[in-house]
Amino acid sequence: MATVQFPADVRTTTGKGAARKIRASGNIPGVIYGHAREPQALSLNTREFERLLEHVAFYTTVFELNLGGTTSNALIREIQRHPYKKEILHVDFQELVEGEKVTVRVPLSQVGASIGVKEGGIIDQIMHELTIRVDPMQIPNHIDIDVSSLAIGHSVHVSDLTIPEGIEVLDALDATVCACAAPKEEKATEPVEGAAIAEPEVLTKGKKDEEGVEAPKA
């Protein structure tokens, strides 16, 4: 489990107008909620938050939010972005309670050297994340896909993954995670036997005489 500390300011103003002012001041409006607490409006420093997102898998990272003297552990539940600008509009956090399981999407990572790849095959990874239920303190950074025994024409399913104890997989067990396919053969284009060979087109023609013989140009 990855954990990062991040300062957040508690705000009392809400609404679209207040959110616009917060963004204009170089901050991002946000909220933290949980079943044991009332939703609380927050403000995050835009530059520091965007810089942090470049280095963490934020959907599986626990944020220790410093809320003016108190600390709350939380997961990011949603990041709202501008439809065409590179701008974060709002961030939703869910407060975590130890012992209370949460649903998260965890990245899948290939490990091992595939037999099929050594034979010239190509691995096509179909699933890149796995949806699980887990205690917040046991969230893995990723789950491995062991492809070492993956041969051409074979595949790895969710049921083949090694899942750490205490994790409940919510995806279908028969779902295909990745497969190894044979390389595509490039067929050379060969002339068909008996086919007529096209003659080059004559772009400029001289006048023909009465017998159909082309007269030389002057």
The pLDDT of residue 99? 79
Whether pTM exceeds 0.85: no
Average pLDDT over residues 118-136: 94
Q: Domains of the chain: which residue ranges?
A: 2-97, 103-181
**Secondary structure of residue 189 in the 3-state scheme:** coil
Q: What is the mean pLDDT of the chain?
A: 85
What does the pLDDT read at residue 114? Answer: 94
- Does 85 score more than 80 pLDDT? yes
- 136: pLDDT confidence band, cut at 50, 70 and 90? confident
b/e code 36-53 from CB counts within 10 Å (16+ = b): eeeebbbbbbbeebeebe
Q: Which pLDDT value is given to residue 97?
A: 83
The answer to whether the 2-97 and 103-181 domains have the same CATH topology is: no
Specify the range with the lowest mean pLDDT, choosing from 67-81, 109-123, 179-193. Answer: 179-193
Q: pLDDT tens digits, residue range 175-196? A: 999 999 998 765 555 555 655 5
3-state helix, strand, coil in the chain (%, to 5): 15, 40, 45
What are 1-55's pLDDT values in tens digits?
788 999 999 988 888 899 999 999 999 999 999 877 788 999 999 999 999 988 8
Q: Which CATH class is domain 2-97?
A: mainly beta
**103-181 belongs to CATH 1.10.3660.10:** no
Strand order in the sheet with 129-134: 143-146, 102-111, 129-134, 168-169
